[in-house]
Structure 1
Amino acid sequence: MRADPHAARFAVLHDAAEALLDELAERYTVDRRESKELLGPADALVRMERLMPRTPAAAPLAVAFTEAPGLALRLGRWWVETLPMCACEVCDEDPSRLVEVLRTQASALVEGGLWERVRRGVGGSWFESRLIGDGINARRDGPLTRGDAREARRSGFAAAVQWAPWPHRATNLSGSGSEKG
């Protein structure tokens, strides 16, 4: 199968995600993990980079680097953003706008702007997510399997969980020990 030459313009997303991951790993106290994973049952393995804050109260961030080229951004437990949604010439998504979306959503997450919860309904359980930050105020929801809903409630998501801001990395201002100024 040949690559779509129009879709190649989205390669900038991979560079932007790499730069963002590097910046966040340098600025915040997180563990960075790389793996190969399936995004879905019919998908090929993709490279996945995760930033896991060293405090359990802060939500993780994961970026899957897809072959299209594109990204799948996961914030916390359920927030997922596919960039681009469609790489075709007709949809004509703007790569620079998508880089802005990536940075805006990541910034809202690290500032503690993500909350998530599970709601029970007549037809089953649903997740609800809300992401609030500079340039974003968005909500998402969707169905959960019984097993996923049960596991989420056991993990404390029956009530709304507002993820904490990411802890900043301690900076060493000088090599001479502690100084007060």
Structure 2
Amino acid sequence: MRADPHVARFAVLHDAAEALLDDLAERYVVDRRESKELLGPADALVRMERLMPRTPAAAPLAIAFTETPGLVLRLGRWWVETLPMCACAVCDEDPARLVDALRTQASALIEGGLWERVRRGVGGSWFESRLIGVGLNARREGPLTRWDAREARRSGFAAAVQWAPWPLKPGTARAEPVRRDV
């Protein structure tokens, strides 16, 4: 079976993610872990790379490498970004913009721009996340199962948690934030 050239153009996402992971692991005090994981019950195993800062106050970053080829970026506890959202020719997502989104979101996380919390409501509990960085101010929310809500509150997410910036390795300069042309 031949690869769809429209979908194949997203291979640059895998290259960009590899370069980003290598750069961050070199500059910051993090542990890098690779595993094979399921993204969902009906999905195949995918390669997952995690960068976990050695300070518990800083949020982890995880990238799943999907077969599309694409990525699932996870920041902190609940921030999830699928790149591309849709690989079809009709949606026609621009790989260069997706690489920019990957770098911009990772930069915001590293600089301490992610906060998360759990809200209780009449119909149950919800997570709320905000990611703020250069050229980025985004918000997400969604429902939580009872078990996830209870676990999150036990972990201190009943009040808003603002994740700390990642610690730099000694002798390393903090990189310039990702800038977006407006």
Q: TM-score, normalised by structure 2?
A: 0.93
Aligned to 2:131: 131
Query: 2-side partners of 1:2 and 1:17: how far apart?
Result: 25
Query: 1-side partners of 2:4 and 2:39: how far apart?
Result: 21
Of 4-13 and 142-151, the range deviating more from structure 2: 4-13
Q: CA RMSD in A?
A: 1.0
Aligned to 2:64: 64
Secondary structure at the aligned position of 2:10 is classed as: helix
Q: Match for 1:17: what amino acid?
A: A
Q: Match for 2:170: what amino acid?
A: A
Is residue 46 from structure 1 mapped to residue 46 from structure 2 by the alignment? yes
Query: 1-side partners of 2:116 and 2:12: how far apart?
Result: 30
Q: Percent identity?
A: 88
Query: 2-side partners of 1:3 and 1:47: how far apart?
Result: 20
**Gaps spanning 5+ residues in structure 2: where?**
173-182
Within 5 Å, give how 1:1-181 maps onto structure 2. Answer: 3-171=3-171
Secondary structure at the aligned position of 1:104 is classed as: helix
- Cα deviation code 1:79-133 (max 9, x no counterpart): 0000000000000000000000000000000000000000000000000000000
Instruction: Give, in angstroms, the shift of residue 5 of structure 1.
Output: 2.6
Query: 2-side partners of 1:4 and 1:116: how far apart?
Result: 38
Query: 1-side partners of 2:81 and 2:121: how far apart?
Result: 25
Q: 1:122 to 1:30 in 2, by over 3 A?
A: same
Query: 2-side partners of 1:33 and 1:113: how far apart?
Result: 23
Equivalenced residues, count? 172
Instruction: Give, in angstroms, the shift of residue 4 of structure 1.
Output: 2.8
Of 163-172 and 136-145, the range deviating more from structure 2: 163-172
Structure with greater Cα Rg: 1
